[in-house]
Structure 1
Amino acid sequence: MVLSELAIRLNCTEYKNWVKAGHCLLLLRSCLQGFVGQEVLSFHRSLLAATPSLGPRATCRGGSRCSPRARQFQPQCEVCAEWKREILKHHVNRNGDVHWGNCRPGLWPVDAWEVAKAFMPRGLTGKKGPEECDAVALLSLINSCDHFVVDRKRVTEVIRCRNEIMHSSDMKVSSTWLQDFQVKIQNFLSEFKTIPEIVAANSRIEQLLLSDWAVYLPEGDQLDGCECAEGTYMSISQVNEIEVELLKEKLQELYMQAEEPDVSPQEISDRLAAMKEFLRNNEDLRNGLLEDMQKLDSLHLQHQKPEAEEPGEEPPASATEGCPPAKIRRVP
C-alpha cells in the first residue's frame, strides 16, 4: 500500500534526515532567487558603466564562429573577446574551469543572465533566469563571481553538503551529518543579515532541522513523533512533491555524470541500479519519475552493451489509487 510505503520511508531516521536536508536546499534556492536576480542586474550594469564599449550597441560579428563549446571559447570578433576578458577579470576561477558552453556570447551586451551563466556549472544553457536554477547553480554563481562579497569557504561548504546529499546512493544521511549541515547552512545564510527573505528562510530552516515529522494514519494509529507538540501539517501529496523534486534533481545529476568522459559506465550503472531498487520498493514515487528514468536509461545504454530485461518486472500501478488521506507534521 502507498500509505505503508510512505510510513516506512518517513519513519526511517536516516531517510527522513535526507529529505529534510534536501527540503532545506529547496528553501535555500527559493530565498536566493530574488536576491541573485537583482545582484546579477547590478553586476551587469557595473560592467557596462566601466566599459561602455560592451553595451547594447556592441554587436557580435563572429556569428557561429563565436559559439563556445563546453570549456572552450575562442572568440572570433573583438566584442566577444572583450567580453570574455571582462568576465575573467571577475571570475574567481579565471585560470580554472569556466563553462563557456552555458552562454550565448552574442547576448552578453543585453542579457545579464547570459553573463551570469559563465560563473555557473555546466548544463545551464537553456536556463533563462534564477527561477529556473537549482541551489547549487546559484551557490556556484555566488562563489565564482567577485561581485558577491561573501566568505567563500562558507559557500563551498554548503555546495559540498549538497553534493553529498545528491550522491548518497541510498538517500540516507546520519543525524550527526544533519547537525553539521545545519551549522554550515546557517553560517552561510548569516552572510545576508540585511536581506529579509533570506533572514526569514534562515529561521524556517532552523525550525525544520530541529523538528520532527509525524505520520498519522486515518484509523488513528500514530507512527513516529506522536509526542511532538501541536503544529501544522503537510498532506501526502505535499511531502511526495518534495521527495519527487529531490529525486528528479538526483536523476539529473546522474544524467550529467553519464555524459562525463571521466565517469565510468559501471559507476553510472551502479548508481542507476540503486535508484531503480529504491523506486521499485516505493510505487508512489516511481510514477512521478518514469520519464526521467527512461531518459537516463536511454543515455546509459549508449555507454555499455544492453543488458537483458529483468524477469517478471511489471509496469507500475497508479501511485494514488485507493490511498487514504494522511497528515505529516511540519514546522510552520
Structure 2
Amino acid sequence: MVHEELAARLNDREYTNWLKAGRCLLILKDGLHPFITHHMKVFHSDLLNQNPLLQKPCETSYCRPRGNKLLSACRVCSEWQRVILKHRRQPDTTVNWDNCVPPNWRTDHWELAKAYMPRGQAKVKGADKCDASALLNLINYCDCFRSVDPKIVREVIHLRNELMHSSELRVNDQWMRHYNTTMKKFVRQFSHLPDMASVGQQIDKMLTIDLSICVSGLDRMDSADPDGIESDSVSQWEPSADLISQWEAELLKESLQELLAAEDDDTKTQDPEQLKRLGGFLLASRDLGERFAAELQVISSLEAKQ
C-alpha cells in the first residue's frame, strides 16, 4: 500500500475538514476568474470613457509608490489615484499602492485591480494567478461588483482567514457547517453564470465526500481517469490518492507562503509560533518533509535568527 502517511493524516476528521474547506477555496477562485476579469475590463473601460484626463499617459513615467505611499505623482496619476479612492468601499482602510505601477493604470485593467487587493500582488498579472483571498478582497473593496453582497464576501474572507491561520490545521464539524452555509450563500449570487453553477456543484461534492475512504481504496487506483478521478458503482466521484495529495500540497504551500511573507513584512504582526507549528507538522510526515524541504530550511533559518 502506498500513501500510508496521507491515509493516516486523513484519519483525523478535523484535519480532513481543513483540507476539504481549503480545496473549496481553490475551486471557488478558479470559477471566479472569468467573472472578475470581465468586470474589471468593463470597469476600466468605463473609467477611461468618463474621464478624458485618464486617457492621457503618465506625464513623467516615473510615478512609483515609495513604500506603501504614492506621493508627488503627476497630474494624470494623481487623478487615477483620486478615482480609485472614489470607487473604493470602506475608504478608511489601507490602500496597497505598492501593488501598482501607476503609469500602467491607463493601459492595463489588472494594474487597476491590484489597487483594491491585499499586499504582495505587485508581480501578479491576472486573475488566474491570484489566490482566493486576493480575488475576494477585490470584490469586497471595489464598488464595480455591485451585484455581490459585500457582507457575504466579508464573511467568506473571515472564514478563509480562520482556515488558513488555523495553528493546528484543523477545524471542527460545527465550523464546517457554518462554512458550508456561507459558501452556498456566496455562490448563489452567481447562479446566472454557468461557470459558477459548476463551482457550486464541485463544492457540494467536496464537502460531502469521505476523503479517507478514497485514499484507503488504493486498490482501485488503476481505474482512475487522466484527471485522477475514479468512478465505480460505489462512488460516482472519487479522487485518487495522488490527486488528494496534490490538493494537500497546494493548500499547505499557500499557507507556508502566507506565513513566510508575513515574516518578511514588518507591517504585519505574525506569531512566529504558528510558523514553527506548521514546520513541525511537515516534519512529522516523511512525505511532506521531503516535498517542502526548501521551505523547512527557510523556517529553520528564521528560527535560528530569533
Q: What's the offset of the Cα at 1:229? A: 4.0
Question: Is contact 1:31–1:197 with CA below 8 Å preserved after alignment?
Answer: yes
Looking at structure 1, the residues matched to 29 and 102 of structure 2 have their Cα atoms a distance apart, in angstroms, of 26
Q: What's the offset of the Cα at 1:296? A: 4.6
Question: Is contact 1:59–1:79 with CA below 8 Å preserved after alignment?
Answer: yes
Question: Is contact 2:68–2:96 with CA below 8 Å preserved after alignment?
Answer: yes
Say whether 1:5 aligns with 2:2.
no
Q: Which residue of 1 aligns with 2:66?
A: 69
1:211–1:235 CA distance, 2 compared to 1 (3 A): closer
Give the letter for the 1:208 counterpart: M
Aligned residues: 291
Higher helix share: 2
Higher mean alpha-carbon deviation, 86-95 vs 156-165, is at: 86-95
Question: Is contact 1:71–1:97 with CA below 8 Å preserved after alignment?
Answer: no
Q: What's the offset of the Cα at 1:272? A: 2.0
Q: What is the SS of the residue equivalent to 1:192? A: coil
Q: What is the SS of the residue equivalent to 1:98? A: coil
Question: Is contact 2:190–2:197 with CA below 8 Å preserved after alignment?
Answer: yes
Q: What's the offset of the Cα at 1:71? A: 3.0
Structure 1 length as normaliser, TM-score?
0.82
1:218–1:118 CA distance, 2 compared to 1 (3 A): closer
Looking at structure 1, the residues matched to 126 and 267 of structure 2 have their Cα atoms a distance apart, in angstroms, of 30
Question: Is contact 1:62–1:75 with CA below 8 Å preserved after alignment?
Answer: no
Give the letter for the 1:24 counterpart: C
Q: Which residue of 2 aligns with 1:35?
A: 35
Looking at structure 1, the residues matched to 28 and 105 of structure 2 have their Cα atoms a distance apart, in angstroms, of 28
Say whether 1:284 aligns with 2:282.
no
CA deviation profile, 1:263-317 (whole Å, cap 9, x unmatched): 567x21x11221121111212122222233334544x359x44xxxxxxxxxxxx
CA deviation profile, 1:51-99 (whole Å, cap 9, x unmatched): 12212xx2223343x2113431114310100110111110113232100
CA deviation profile, 1:122-170 (whole Å, cap 9, x unmatched): 0000000001000010000000000001211100000011101110111
Q: What's the offset of the Cα at 1:208? A: 1.8
Q: Which residue of 2 aligns with 1:99?
A: 96
Looking at structure 1, the residues matched to 216 and 280 of structure 2 have their Cα atoms a distance apart, in angstroms, of 26
Give the letter for the 2:296 counterpart: M
Looking at structure 1, the residues matched to 132 and 218 of structure 2 have their Cα atoms a distance apart, in angstroms, of 36
Looking at structure 2, the residues matched to 294 and 169 of structure 1 have their Cα atoms a distance apart, in angstroms, of 20
- RMSD of aligned alpha carbons: 2.1
Q: Which residue of 1 aligns with 2:186?
A: 188
1:70–1:157 CA distance, 2 compared to 1 (3 A): farther
Q: Which residue of 1 aligns with 2:163?
A: 165
Say whether 1:239 aligns with 2:248.
no
Question: Is contact 2:114–2:121 with CA below 8 Å preserved after alignment?
Answer: yes
Q: What's the offset of the Cα at 1:218? A: 4.9
Q: Which residue of 2 aligns with 1:202?
A: 200
Question: Is contact 2:262–2:269 with CA below 8 Å preserved after alignment?
Answer: no
Q: What is the SS of the residue equivalent to 1:72? A: coil
Q: What's the offset of the Cα at 1:192? A: 1.1
Looking at structure 2, the residues matched to 70 and 175 of structure 1 have their Cα atoms a distance apart, in angstroms, of 42
Question: Is contact 2:140–2:153 with CA below 8 Å preserved after alignment?
Answer: yes
Identity of aligned residues (%): 38
Q: Which residue of 1 aligns with 2:230?
A: none
Question: Is contact 2:140–2:150 with CA below 8 Å preserved after alignment?
Answer: yes
Higher mean alpha-carbon deviation, 88-97 vs 124-133, is at: 88-97
Please list, as runs of the form range in 1=range in 2, the aligned pairs for 1:217-228 lying within 5 A after superposition. Answer: 218=218
CA deviation profile, 1:224-279 (whole Å, cap 9, x unmatched): xxxx94233222221111111101110111112213436567x21x1122112111
Structure 1: which 5+ residue stretches go unaligned? 221-227, 306-332
Q: Which has the larger radius of gyration?
A: 1
Looking at structure 2, the residues matched to 83 and 91 of structure 1 have their Cα atoms a distance apart, in angstroms, of 12
Give the letter for the 1:45 counterpart: S
Structure 2: which 5+ residue stretches go unaligned? 221-232
